[in-house]
Amino acid sequence: MPCTVISGAFWGDEGKGKIISYLALKDKLDVCIRTGSVNAAHTVWYQGKRYALHMVPAAFVHEKCRLLIGAGTNVHVGKFLEEMETTKVKNRMGIDEQASIIEEKHSLQDKTSAHLKGIGTTGWGVGPAVEERVRRTAKVARDIPELKPYLTDAAKEVNDAIDAGRNVLLEGTQGLMLSLYHGTYPYVTSRDTSASAICSEAGVGPTKVGNVLVVFKSFITRVGAGPLPGEITKEESLKRGWFETAAGTGRERRSAPFSFELAKKAVMMNSATQAAVTKLDCVYPQCRGARKYDELAKEAKQFIDDIEKKTGVPVALVGTGPEALDIIDRRK
């Protein structure tokens, strides 16, 4: 059973956390490996509780899923330990021994650099931590005593699981438009966010990937500075029910209508095989909580249809509410 990669299409915050938590429960995922870093928050609503996860994979909701953090990631030790408590996953969590460590000094550098302030970074220090990794002076997980119980060879675990036919998911963070290479440079994050980069951070080669599921939100948001085509005012955003604040930093998100152009680009650069569309209920309120395609209003179905026609990939999953199970599953 080849593995699935989940990647974001826009500027992050497409609702990847929700999609991953659904797949974890529904498909009984065996292994989920998180990539990226602490700057990204994945929101999971499960059994009436909300989790904004910066380190622990969103698949934690399935209690049998092995949870991993890849070698290409940056680990914030304090946040990692804290989240393991809230999610109670100590006995099934592993960190690649070569994952980089984010230190307080990185966050300070991030917050005090005028250049990075102009970009509007999250302030977690990911850019400065990546710089240290490139200089080959960064600490890695095996240098940190508190992480000893969780150290593993994550790439080997993931590849062994794929070879054994187990159900494996590679959890991407952020979105294509924040990619260091392909996004709205210089208003981007400090890594490539495409499906290929997600594989690389996890240590999986392209021939082992069977599915690339790109996640679209029904409208677009971004936090921080940089271009946002079609941006509407905060007032208009509130009126439409699109106004959001960031799960991680609490900052106000800017918003814009869905863009088929950007969606096409994201499908192309991720070699996506499938798409998920989240928050359909924010654009078509009568869809809220729907779990069957036939329950959708005509215009909502038309929107999904347009996405499929214009991007060329099937919309396999449609999110209709915040809970993990508020999904229309159109997979065969």
Instruction: Give the residue numbers marked as catalytic.
Output: 13, 42
Site for ligand IMP in 2-21 (CB under 6 A): 11-13
Per-residue binder mask for Mg ion (CB under 5 A), 215-254, x = binder: --------------------------------x-------
CB nearer to ligand IMP: pick between 13 and 171:
13
Segment near ligand IMP (CB under 6 A); pick from 83-91, 92-100, 124-132, 267-275: 124-132
The number of beta carbons lying within 10 Å of the beta carbon of residue 62 is 21
Q: Which residue has the tokens 């092995």?
A: 66
- Partner whose binding site includes residue 119, from Mg ion, ligand IMP, none (CB under 5 to 8 Å by kind): ligand IMP
Spatial CB neighbours of 98, under 8 Å, sequence gap ≥ 6: 71, 140, 141, 142
Site for ligand IMP in 166-195 (CB under 6 A): 173-174, 178, 187, 189-190
CA-to-CA distance for 221 and 244, rounded, in angstroms?
A: 8
Instruction: Name the residue type at position 238.
Output: L
Token pair in block for residue 181? 């290479």
Q: How far is the CB of 210 from ligand IMP (least distance, A)?
A: 26
Length of the chain: 332
User: Which of 81, 113, 120, 265 lies at the binding interface for ligand IMP (CB under 6 A)?
Assistant: 120
How many chain residues touch ligand IMP (CB under 6 A)? 21
- Partner whose binding site includes residue 319, from ligand IMP, Mg ion, none (CB under 5 to 8 Å by kind): none
Q: How far is the CB of 24 from Mg ion (least distance, A)?
A: 17
In the chain, % helix, strand, coil (3-state, to 5) comes to 40, 25, 40
Can residue 41 be called a binding residue for Mg ion (CB under 5 A)? yes
User: Which of 43, 107, 122, 320 lies at the binding interface for ligand IMP (CB under 6 A)?
Assistant: 122
Q: How far is the CB of 303 from ligand IMP (least distance, A)?
A: 23
Spatial CB neighbours of 120, under 8 Å, sequence gap ≥ 6: 187, 223, 224, 225, 226
Q: Give the helix/strand (H/E) hosting 171.
A: strand 168-175
Q: What is the DSSP string of 260-279?
A: HHHHHHHHHHHT-SEEEEE-
